[in-house]
Amino acid sequence: MIKSLLLSAKRYAPEREIVCGNRRYDYRELNARIARLANVLTEAGIGAGDTVAVMDWDSHRYLEAYFAVPMIGAVLHHVNVRLSVDQIGYTMAHAEDRLVLVNDDFLPIVEELADRLPTVESYIQLSDAAEAANTSLKTLGEYEALLASTSTDYLFPDFDENSVATTFYTTGTTGNPKGVYFSHRQLVLHTLNMATTLAAYEGVSLLRSEDVYMPMTPMFHVHAWGVPYVATMLGVKQVYPGRYEPNRLVRLYRDEGVTFSHGVPTVLQMLLNCDEAKDTDLGRWKLLTGGAAPTEGLVRQMVERGIRFYTGYGMSETCPLLSLTHLTPEQAALPPAGQVALRMRTGVPISLVDLRVVDETGCEVPLDDSCVGEVQVRAPWLTQGYFREPEKGAELWQGGWLHTGDVASVDAHGVLQIRDRIKDVIKTGGEWISSLLLESLISRHPAVANVAVVGVPDPRWDERPLALVVPVEGQEIDSGTLKQHLMQYVDNGEINKWAIPQQIRIVDSIPVTSVGKVNKKQIREQLAAQG
């Protein structure tokens, strides 16, 4: 039960603070506010099994909803406000949201969608300004006013720990977003295991009682990687930064004494480049990244600034944490620069995670960091399927293992390296070639502005790689030069000769998805249509 995660902080650290904007209050008050929010929700007619959506920046309100909504037996829907308006509407209708907590900044989206959300009965406004914004929506009022109007007493019930606590949607390159969901039991287990993982290993020690936590992964993104639940259980000081603005994040780090944050590589890169970071000592910061592979340049920059840097791996379907940087004592004794390559890797599976990397025949790949296979996992906190799409859930869990769709290699220390998505890997002559690796090698040629590599059907080899290359403006390049360029990586052993694409096409542009990723499915379809 999620409510049990609240028991310790008020005993261990009743005076420690939750900070958001000008608001700061302690753990006693957090407990009182969660009870108030539960009363507001109950008075709004929300009961067990109902879904409550939140559309907000990272805030104390979001943290309160992380607890109050599941604790009354309702389901918390973290709406991904970065999706297109249509996609947001799809997810809110599909999740059957009944009540929506919406930040003034997202009112225009909801006002546009309101007619298409038949299950939504009412709205609560979340305002960071002194005056709540005007809206045509039928709202119950502003969050703080509603909280103030109700009581701090709420008797949170006991119920089946397998009840769904949270849901959110994950987007692929095709089709509609799919809803994943997590039970009380799963979130408690994920929280306890993550607390151990972040605290018990001297080589990791990212989050202990005296740390100060500030998320930089949105709270609508896989429970902000699960850390708000951990931080609250441990009773650490927490800082919620609202909308991410690099200079403000650095100022909060400095002024609030932040020691631990997590974020995707692009956010971390923006941080390092912002004005405020130039003259700030970042050496106290422990940073965890994930969601995408950090570049070597980014990691090197962080290490030079004294930041203790870790890489984790997980996905929406996995709650999320599956693996985390873990150095052997010998590796940890290396000078910081010598740890860069190690800290960029995808990490070692954490406790309670059963993880295997298997090839097409179902055999585990050798630990040579070269052979690749699909990452498949079992752990107590993985989504049991996709909401109202049982056939997709069955596919996800084929053979009793969750298929991540990620392709990885494993080194002799058991450290993972994600290489590609399985849909994009090129299966040729019984071997798998990473499309991302080929793209990375081709892009090292100075005349290449952009590149995409896909597999195309081949009668003899099953598939063969094909590259689309956009030249740097004003420069010329041809297929022969690029093949020559790739030969150096054959010579130094990075790839085999048969990995060199037979076809390299020079093009003007490469199709991307709505969220800006290379749309390899579309490329493959276009190539197929061309014959």
From candidates 196, 384, 479, 522, binder to a copy of itself by CB under 8 A: 196
One of 427, 431, 463, 498 is an active-site residue; which one?
427
Show the site string, 371-410: x = touches a copy of itself by CB under 8 A, - = not. Answer: ---------x------------------------------
State how beta strands 51-55 and 97-103 pair. parallel
Show the site string, 212-251: x = touches a copy of itself by CB under 8 A, - = not. Answer: ---------------------xx-----------------
Smallest separation, CB 198 to a copy of itself (Å) = 8
Show the site string, 131-160: x = touches a copy of itself by CB under 8 A, - = not. Answer: ------------------------------
Smallest separation, CB 27 to a copy of itself (Å) = 12
392 is known as an active-site residue: no
Smallest separation, CB 400 to a copy of itself (Å) = 9
Strands (E), 79-192: 97-103, 122-126, 139-142, 164-170, 178-183
In sequence order, the 6+-apart residues with CB closer than 8 A to the CB of 331 are 339, 342
Smallest separation, CB 420 to a copy of itself (Å) = 23
Helix intervals (H) in 149-245 = 184-199, 227-234
Helix intervals (H) in 328-426 = 329-332, 336-344, 390-396
> In this structure, what DSSP letter does residue 20 have?
E
391 is known as an active-site residue: no
Toward a copy of itself, which CB reaches closer, 251 or 378?
Answer: 378
One-character DSSP codes across 415-473: -EEEEEETTTSEEETTEEE-HHHHHHHHHTSTTEEEEEEEEEEETTTEEEEEEEEEEPT
Report the C-alpha gap between 452 and 481 in whole angstroms.
Answer: 17
- Residue type at position 238: Q
Written as six digits, the tokens of 225 are 């990687």
Written as six digits, the tokens of 5 are 């995660």
Rule CB under 8 A: is residue 331 a binding residue for a copy of itself?
Answer: no
Show the site string, 9-38: x = touches a copy of itself by CB under 8 A, - = not. Answer: --xx--------------------------
Long-range contacts from 192-201, C-beta under 8 angstroms, 24+ separation: 192/233, 193/321, 193/350, 193/351, 193/352, 193/381, 194/226, 194/227, 194/229, 194/230, 194/321, 194/350, 195/230, 195/233, 195/234, 196/351, 197/321, 197/324, 197/350, 197/351, 198/230, 199/234, 201/326
Pick the stretch among 50-58, 200-208, 389-397, 470-478 that binds a copy of itself (CB under 8 A): 200-208
Would you say 472 and 448 are in contact if contact means Cβ atoms under 8 Å apart? yes
Smallest separation, CB 313 to a copy of itself (Å) = 14
Report the C-alpha gap between 52 and 167 in whole angstroms.
Answer: 10
463 is known as an active-site residue: no
Rule CB under 8 A: is residue 203 a binding residue for a copy of itself?
Answer: yes
Toward a copy of itself, which CB reaches closer, 41 or 327?
Answer: 327
From candidates 73, 218, 294, 349, binder to a copy of itself by CB under 8 A: 349
Rule CB under 8 A: is residue 368 a binding residue for a copy of itself?
Answer: no
One of 119, 135, 139, 170 is an active-site residue; which one?
170
Rule CB under 8 A: is residue 351 a binding residue for a copy of itself?
Answer: yes
Toward a copy of itself, which CB reaches closer, 46 or 365?
Answer: 365
170 is known as an active-site residue: yes
From candidates 32, 207, 249, 499, binder to a copy of itself by CB under 8 A: 207
- Residue type at position 51: T
SS3 content of the chain, % helix, strand, coil (to 5): 35, 25, 40
Toward a copy of itself, which CB reaches closer, 348 or 422?
Answer: 348
Report the C-alpha gap between 167 and 181 in whole angstroms.
Answer: 4
Toward a copy of itself, which CB reaches closer, 195 or 454?
Answer: 195
Sign of torsion over alpha carbons 39, 45, 46, 48: positive
Pick the stretch among 24-32, 166-174, 194-202, 441-449 that binds a copy of itself (CB under 8 A): 194-202
Rule CB under 8 A: is residue 201 a binding residue for a copy of itself?
Answer: yes
Residues forming the site for a copy of itself (CB under 8 A): 4-5, 7-8, 11-12, 188-189, 192-193, 195-196, 198-203, 207-210, 233-234, 326, 348-354, 380, 414
**Residues labelled as active-site residues:** 170, 317, 427, 432
